[in-house]
Amino acid sequence: MAEQKYPPELTVTQLPIAEGNSRQSEKALKPKAESPKIVLATLNARYFHTSFGLRYLYANLKELQHFCEIQEFIIQTRAIDIVEQILASEPDIVGFGVYIWNIVETTDVVSLLKVIAPEIKIILGGPEVSYETEQQAIVASADYVLTGPADLSFYQLCKDIINNTPPDKKVLKSQPVGLEEIALPYQYYTDEDLKHRLLYVEASRGCPFKCEFCLSSLDKASTPFDLTLFLEQMEILYQRGARNFKFIDRTFNLNITTTMQIMQFFLDRMTDDLYLHFEVVPDHLPRKLKALLTQFPTGSLQFEIGIQTFNTEVQANISRKQNNAKSKDNLIWLRDNTSAHIHADLIFGLPGETFDTFKDSFNQLYHCRPHEIQMGILKRLKGSPIIRHTETFDLRFNPLPPFNILSTDRVSFATMQRINRFARYWDMIGNSGRFKYSLPHVLSDKPFDDFMAITEWIFNKTGQIHKISLKKLFELISQAVEALFAEKHPLVIEKLALDYDAAKLKSLFSSLKLYAAPQVEQVVKNKSLQRQQRHMS
């Protein structure tokens, strides 16, 4: 399903318990003091995304649900405009979901909201405020913070505030709850969500693995939801028209019996527009699962496969267990025998990783032929055990979001910047799918070295890693290949023409500057004098 081209800045979800009971009529029936108003809000990265967490909180509000609405914004919206729309609902309580991708923008919103309407009680929750809580600026502006899974604790806190029996502490730790105690949120996806947005679903919570860069390493196990109940909810969504499902299970193929049942459920309901996204453990694809995967048609499956590194020393440092040989065999098998889109992840900056060991991991992964290689840069997620290596490996993280690694004892800051540029250009060129005909002829059996050369040539030429038009990118790739790999250039131009035709750009391929033009020294006149001359002439 294509992403909506006109992303609105706000989605308001109003979901009364009983049909026909609108909040407008409720306001007319009861005075403000008897009708508490709760707004659940978050800032998504894009309109296409939905907030799964807010819908869980809403689903578990019990009798308070009638007085609550969900408001979803995108991070590009101005804080003052977000505050205006929240205040238009006249809330008594506002709960914010806070994540690494929206912490800066949410801090601005919360600060502004507290200045304009200090009487409103602000509750924060989410992974970004669940650890190192007291030191964060956003916490200083809030009234309460719920750490950990707040599915049930948010309801209790709201009830206490409304009953004028609030807790005497600001930071409250949510107690563990059994999955059977939680009301599922799927009915609270709106028809608009089903038509235009990605739906997040989960068949389990937690992860048995202990990879230290990930917050899931704090889990003790992976716990499944009741499968019958889960599939009933999926059937309801499907019958309502949902066709875009993203499973957030950290290890979807951990329990093969459950995996098979879920996959068969969707295979039995296959349509041309059904899309399923799973995070898959790369070294655990038994024969019966493979047989089932071959039956899914093109465009229906995307697998996100975390490789992170093939270096066994680094894997040991971060407590990652992975059979590298089996992982590579399975990646190749998936590419050769299924129509799944394969999105494989690497992380640069892990403790013990060097430029050369990462290069080796990239080369190995490239030759497994995933459709995309997502090059992540290590981030310091609050609460993740990776910080235990800080002194040993001299890990230096950005103090500002997204808290990315800046240098280690084995990777200088300058090298880290080179890799950042590599990752950005790789996303534009290697992962975009725009250069599927030409790129294989640009890269040799040492793809990392070749693409690093391309990266540095383009950056030296432009000084840019953003805002490069697609037409300009075609020109730059051709010119870089001419300068770096002249013997490949004639064939690469032929293949670039195919890619350009597939891109359906308006200008003709023959109009592109495919060869590096000689640099002409330009004399820039004084701009003030130019302005005067325009008035005089």
**Helical residues (DSSP H) of 298-386, grouped into ranges:** 312-317, 324-337, 355-366
Q: Identify the CA nearest to 341 among candidates 302, 296, 374.
A: 302
Tokens 């599927």, residue located: 436
Instruction: Extract the tokens encoding 509.
Output: 């391929």
Give yes or no for a contact between 402 and 100, defined as CB atoms under 8 angstroms apart. yes
Q: Are strands 144-147 and 171-173 parallel, antiparallel or unpaired?
A: parallel
Mapped onto helix, strand or coil, the DSSP state of residue 454 is helix
Query: Which residues make beta-bridge pairs with 302?
Result: 277, 341
Q: What span, in angstroms and rounded, lies between the C-alpha atoms of 348 and 353? A: 7
Q: Identify the CA nearest to 229 among candidates 254, 197, 204, 198.
A: 204
pLDDT for position 526: 57
pLDDT for position 422: 98
pLDDT for position 251: 86
Give, for all 537 residues of the chain, the pLDDT tens digit: 333 333 334 445 545 333 333 333 333 333 344 689 999 999 999 999 999 999 999 999 999 999 999 999 999 999 999 999 999 999 999 999 999 999 999 999 999 999 999 999 999 999 999 999 999 999 999 999 999 999 999 999 999 999 999 999 999 999 999 999 999 999 999 999 999 999 999 999 999 889 999 998 888 889 999 999 999 999 999 999 999 999 999 889 989 999 999 999 999 999 999 999 999 999 999 999 999 999 999 999 999 999 999 999 999 999 999 999 999 999 999 999 999 999 999 999 999 999 999 999 999 999 999 999 999 999 999 999 999 999 999 999 999 999 999 999 999 999 999 999 999 999 999 999 999 999 999 999 999 999 999 999 999 999 999 999 999 999 999 999 999 999 999 999 999 999 999 999 999 999 999 998 664 444 445 555 565 555 555
Please, what sign has the CA dihedral across residues 469, 471, 474, 480? Answer: negative
Mapped onto helix, strand or coil, the DSSP state of residue 420 is helix
pLDDT for position 25: 33
Instruction: Extract the tokens encoding 54.
Output: 């807010």
Q: Are strands 144-147 and 68-74 parallel, antiparallel or unpaired?
A: unpaired
pTM: 0.88
Say which amino acid occupies 94. V
Ordered structural domains, the chain, with CATH: 10-180 (3.40.50.280), 198-411 (3.80.30.20), 415-537 (no CATH)
